[in-house]
Structure 1
């Protein structure tokens, strides 16, 4: 699951854990045989444990958006309603709240409710030929695609074959070689080459890094997962996955975390299951300042003490 961070600056950054998807003009439309509708409620509680009111306090909350062909937001309600909408370099949208008037020993609650339709998507990989798009192949923080070890692994795994076959080789390598565990800190792709365990952020980051090292465009998503009897024991609600850009196909979804077991391997390769709900695109959105889903800043930090005591999600399936 995406990570939790605490940075003790004069302000505090706390995590409790785009560009709209592009398709090639020559790519066939993906098949969407199933749509699921969800009611989602996100609740955030900020508690002032100190003895003073902060001079300044801001909360940024990433908002779920309509992203074709994956999901459509049919309704959204945000409380309190005194917020400003912002957009980052990826096209992610945020509600920015100013809670400077936060009395000591009180709690402020933010509630956001959505109704969202999510599509299942199958991709036809039978014609994996054509050009790749520009971009999405550069190394970045936590996606160290220029790391010599990662470059060597990518080269060894993809000497021949189509780009779709190379992508599958990278996907299988991640599933075969990483050991799943929950990590509190954010490590990224390079750290998986050691002996530490990995969670969804590392699984997605390594697959992106291997793909970018081989010139295959890849992008990272964080969101939430509707858990059922098949997934509740193998994942968390807060989740990360990715898209690879495949010639003749366009952007194709991959979830190497849920696909880490052999019995699930085919199901999560080039198949977007309608239990995935995107919140943000990008491994390092600037607005989140190294966090996921939310960022919280307040000051002065030496005389006030404010914490986010809860970030919860309720996800109800409205229809099958």
Structure 2
């Protein structure tokens, strides 16, 4: 059961003072059996009062206001977490679609997560379904085949998509990063009526060569009958293991945006993101990026569930 120290700083700098900054954050580690929170310290400019609540998906949300004039907003999270994902889940991964349908019929929440988005290129999704679906295979095997297909036929390329990129566009150019692969996989699995949800978090391998190491990351969780939610990472074509730390879940990315809000003032903002992951052997990964943002629309929407800072937009 590895332990990770994760230091994550989101810093907004304004070229002139702004006021009435209203923000919502989802940077608290997700409460689940697969991870144990040993420490979590959160520091915010001005030490504002925080309203905390749990949303529909089980995410812990924090809301705060910074009304006084300020030229900088820094949100700093220091997390120590121990992951406890079961190593061997193969014995419960042989359940089929008949049992899945029985479990879905007893849960409106699961039923909601079987409904794909309305997109123009649904026929391309149906073609993927035709290539991966075999009625005699288990639900877990079908989920694995979907991950394998995306890993094999979609190119991992940074910088060619952003948070506004649609599934239609991803299907068209067959490339992107973790967020894009997760959204395509959700569309395929929901077309197959497999309840699935988007997950944001971190991937923390120690020099294992996985895509997204030490950075914010995104993957998928699917409902496996007689087991429950199980994560799979199509960016690396692996079932989620003790290297993944979960922050939030939802129907798609918009339900998991770690920081978003508004402010008053005609200022241009510069956004900086720092993430470091410390391992038990002393190894540490560090990355700091500046994000270009458009001037003065009064919105700040930091979305660090992707592989590079160039995807963090207003």
> By the TM > 0.5 criterion, same fold?
yes
CA contact (8 A) 2:249 2:255 kept: no
3-state SS of 1:166 partner: helix
> What's the counterpart of residue 128 of structure 2?
153
**Does structure 1 residue 85 correspond to structure 2 residue 60?**
no
- TM-score scaled by structure 1? 0.72
Q: Residue in 1 aligned with 2:204?
A: 226
Query: C-alpha offsets along residues 122-158 of structure 1, whole Å, 9 cap, x if unaligned?
Result: 32255324334332111238xx599232124313431
Q: Distance in 1 between matches of 2:248 and 2:120?
A: 21
Cα deviation 1:161-218 (Å, max 9, x = unaligned): 2223322322221122101111441324333321252211121122221111111111
**CA deviation map 1:53-104 (0-9, x unaligned):** 434112322122343222122222222442222433322223223222134x
Judged with a 3 Å threshold, the aligned counterparts in structure 2 of structure 1 residues 258 and 199 are, in CA distance, closer, same or farther, namely same
1:13 maps to what in 2? none
The 8 Å contact of residues 89 and 286 in structure 1, kept in 2 or not, is answered as no
Counterpart of 1:294 in structure 2 is: 259
Distance 1:158 1:235, change over 3 A: same
CA contact 1:38–1:316 (8 Å) conserved in 2: yes
Contact 2:14 2:270 in 1 (8 A): no
Q: Does 1:138 align with 2:115?
A: yes
- Partner Cα distance (2:233, 2:146) in 1: 12
Alpha-carbon distance in structure 2 between the residues aligned to 1:255 and 1:294 = 23
CA distance in structure 1 between the aligned counterparts of 2:121 and 2:225, rounded to whole angstroms: 23
Structure 2 gaps of 5+ residues are 105-109, 283-314
Cα distance in 2 between the residues matched to 1:56 and 1:92: 25
Q: Which has the higher helix share?
A: 2
The number of residues matched between the two structures is 264
Alignment equivalent of 1:272, drawn from 240, 245, 269: 240
The whole-number CA distance in structure 2 between the counterparts of 1:205 and 1:230 is 25
Q: Does 1:99 align with 2:66?
A: yes
**How far has the Cα of 1:277 moved from its partner?**
1.0
Aligned counterpart in structure 2 of residue 61 of structure 1, from 25, 39, 50: 25
Specify the alignment match of 2:147 in structure 1.
Answer: 171
TM-score (norm 2): 0.74
Greater RCO structure (CA 8 Å; 6+ sep): 1
Which whole-Å CA distance do the structure 1 matches of 2:121 and 2:57 have between them? Answer: 22
Within a 5 Å distance, the mapping from 1:44-59 to structure 2 comes to 44-50=10-16, 53-59=17-23
